[in-house]
Amino acid sequence: MSAIRSAYTDKLAFFGNSSPQQLLAVYGSPLYVYNENILRRSCRELQLLSAHPGFWVNYSAKANANPSLLRIIREEGCLVDAMSPGELHMNLEAGFSREQILYVCNNVSEAELQNAAEHGLLVSVDSLAQLDLYGRVNRGGNVMLRFNPGIGAGHHQKVVTAGEATKFGIAPEDLDKARALLAAHGLTLAGLNQHIGSLFMEPDGYLDAMDRLLAFAAALRPEELARLEILDFGGGFGIPYHKYGNAARLDMDALGRGIHERISAFAARTGYAGRFYVEPGRYVVAECGLLLGTVHAVKDHAGRRYVGTDLGFNTLMRPVLYNAHHDIEIYRAEDAAESGSLPQTVVGNICESGDILAEDCVLPEIAIGDILGVLDAGAYGFAMCSNYNLRLRPAEVLIMADGSHRLIRRRDNLDDLVRNVRV
Ligand code: LLP
């Protein structure tokens, strides 16, 4: 392979003992590739945010629920959340015990709440209506309430999950109504949680929201505070997607200091001896994952260079859904020529004009046969894949600590497409 644009993964030895070309030759294209060392590193970095004995990293499995990755995350000492029976199933598959799984759902059916209760999980509900429903299926049990701290944050309005314009959470003013429902069903309030949104790059908003949750908890009646077991501040920890633009990282030292100070002071002030959770998804898995694809066509049309690939939005939805940016690397066989850079629009093979992975991106000139690597695709990448246009969802491969590779999910096949069909 010649280094057309691969400095970032080269430095990390991302592909272990293989090249992108070798991996595609074995597993086919497109392909999700994950690196175990990078995954372990991000788990450890998060755990260093606070040395408080009650501090836990509760991985939010919606970002990526491949059981092989979940297993590594569990080995690293993280806990996990689930928001659906499917995620719960995967968490159990990966060896998490019921005490290690927190069920954080919204707008779910009685059957789903029943399922969570039967598994013995602590469940967080996010509306008075769901609290009432849960009280009926788990009378006399424990429950957690998702609180809306009134401030949100996120990379796109679609992922801001607190404040006024959102479906999530119980307003602090509704505490007395919640108390009445708790009493009516004999439920114990065992925890409070929140999640203000996804992808913040400055600590302040998260820390302000923590202050609000802690103030809310501190204002509870002493007997209520004494029964709390978990205070969960949510996720949203951002990663820099512009690796080649040297985008700054989230200042984890400053964030860690802010988190540690707050939880230590709260515990000292109130005597709270329960757990404190942070609930990151993206930060854990985004940077350990990359999506490989192949260039099949190049065309110039109306003054624009289109690079046609097998990386349709069925494989990675983030650019289409949120205008999200992902840096792209280019790998080429040794003998091919290299030329200068120009704006190029990288598109997929889906029958929609909006199927654009990167628009007018200045990159070294891409040629048919090149392999592209879409960086930072480990979070909300495979998790949001679909079979749209009846394309097969990619395989997933893990580059293990020793540099070797292992299939952790096979590519869909045509039988998978018809498995649920009845004629
Ligand atoms: N906790 C709760 C209750 C959540 O709803 C989420 C994410 C998280 C934790 C983890 O958030 P994270 O640390 O990953 O930001 N598909 C979007 C992101 C949606 C996030 C949904 N909730 C994206 O690709 O940017």
Structure tokens at 71: 């297993």
Domain with CATH 3.20.20.10 in the chain: 36-286
> Is any atom of ligand 1 closer than 6 Å to the C-beta of 195?
yes
> Is any atom of ligand 1 closer than 6 Å to the C-beta of 35?
no
From atom 5 of ligand 1, which residue's Cα is the shortest distance away?
Answer: 195
Atom of ligand 1 nearest to the CA of 156: 25
235 CA from centroid of ligand 1 (Å): 7
From atom 8 of ligand 1, which residue's Cα is the shortest distance away?
Answer: 235
> Is any atom of ligand 1 closer than 6 Å to the C-beta of 396?
no
pLDDT, residue 165, reads: 87
78 classed as catalytic: no
pLDDT, residue 162, reads: 87
Tally of CB atoms within 10 A around 375: 22
pLDDT, residue 334, reads: 72
Mutate to test the pocket of ligand 1, among 62, 64, 107, 157 (most ligand atoms within 8 A of CB): 62
Residues 6+ apart with CB under 8 A from 262: 207, 210, 211, 214
Atom of ligand 1 nearest to the CA of 161: 5
For residue 265, CA distances in Å to 205, 222, 270, 377 come to: 19, 17, 8, 37
Tally of CB atoms within 10 A around 132: 16
The model's pTM: 0.97
| Whole-number Å distance between alpha carbons of 121 and 157 | 31
Asked if 349 contacts 310 with a C-beta cutoff of 8 angstroms, the reply is: yes
Mutate to test the pocket of ligand 1, among 42, 45, 58, 60 (most ligand atoms within 8 A of CB): 60
Task: Read off the pLDDT of residues 303-337 as tens digits, 9 standing for 90 and up.
Answer: 999 999 999 999 999 999 999 999 999 999 876 66
- What's domain 36-286's architecture? Alpha-Beta Barrel (3.20)
Mutate to test the pocket of ligand 1, among 56, 59, 144, 198 (most ligand atoms within 8 A of CB): 198
226 CA from centroid of ligand 1 (Å): 30
Residues in the chain where the model's pLDDT stays below 50:
none
pLDDT, residue 234, reads: 98
From atom 24 of ligand 1, which residue's Cα is the shortest distance away?
Answer: 380
| Whole-number Å distance between alpha carbons of 70 and 82 | 12
pLDDT, residue 155, reads: 86
Task: Read off the pLDDT of residues 352-362 as tens digits, 9 standing for 90 and up.
Answer: 999 999 999 99
Atom of ligand 1 nearest to the CA of 282: 14
Atom of ligand 1 nearest to the CA of 324: 25
From atom 3 of ligand 1, which residue's Cα is the shortest distance away?
Answer: 195
> Is any atom of ligand 1 closer than 6 Å to the C-beta of 63?
yes
Domain 2-34+287-418: assigned CATH number: 2.40.37.10
Work out the mean pLDDT of the chain and round it to a whole number.
96
From atom 22 of ligand 1, which residue's Cα is the shortest distance away?
Answer: 198
> Is any atom of ligand 1 closer than 6 Å to the C-beta of 380?
yes
> Is any atom of ligand 1 closer than 6 Å to the C-beta of 67?
no
pLDDT, residue 335, reads: 65
Domain with CATH 2.40.37.10 in the chain: 2-34+287-418
Q: Give residue 39's identity as a one-letter amino acid code.
A: L
